[in-house]
Amino acid sequence: MQDVWNVVDLLIEEVKHFNNEGKSFDVSRSINAQLPFFSCKNLFHSKENQTDIQRYIYCQDFNIQPYPGSYGEQPVLWIEKAFIIKSALAKLNKDKIEDGRK
């Protein structure tokens, strides 16, 4: 699995390089588009990540906190994960809308 992450790191560097030259590539979309050429996407679907996504969606749907307490009392790691999940879901929805227009 380390060799797959090494390739992902190279892809990230490549995208950053092209973006510094004036392009505007999205890192996650670039990795997702090239991933099937060197790995199986299922390797990136860990049980922990799936549990976090389920928790996020459940909390959104039922408007509840994931952990006891107010926003300031939520674990910092969870807040970081929540922002990543929110961003990823927004990109997914945007891609679906763009695909529907084609």
> For 32-66, how does the pLDDT look when each residue is reduced to its tens digit (9 = 90+)?
889 999 998 888 778 898 999 999 999 999 999 99
Number of domains into which the chain is organized:
2
Domain range for residue 85? 46-102
Question: Chain-wide mean pLDDT for the chain?
Answer: 90
Write down the pTM of the prediction.
0.69
Task: State mean pLDDT over 73-99.
Answer: 90
Separation of alpha carbons 90 and 97, rounded Å: 11
Indicate if the pLDDT at residue 67 is higher than 90: yes
Examine the domain organization and report whether 31 and 1 are in the same domain.
yes
Are 53 and 39 in a shared domain?
A: no
pLDDT digit string, tens, across residues 91-100? 888 888 887 8
By CB neighbour count within 10 A (0-12 exposed, 13-18 middle, 19+ buried), where does 62 fall? exposed
Q: Is there a single domain that holds both residue 57 and residue 68?
A: yes
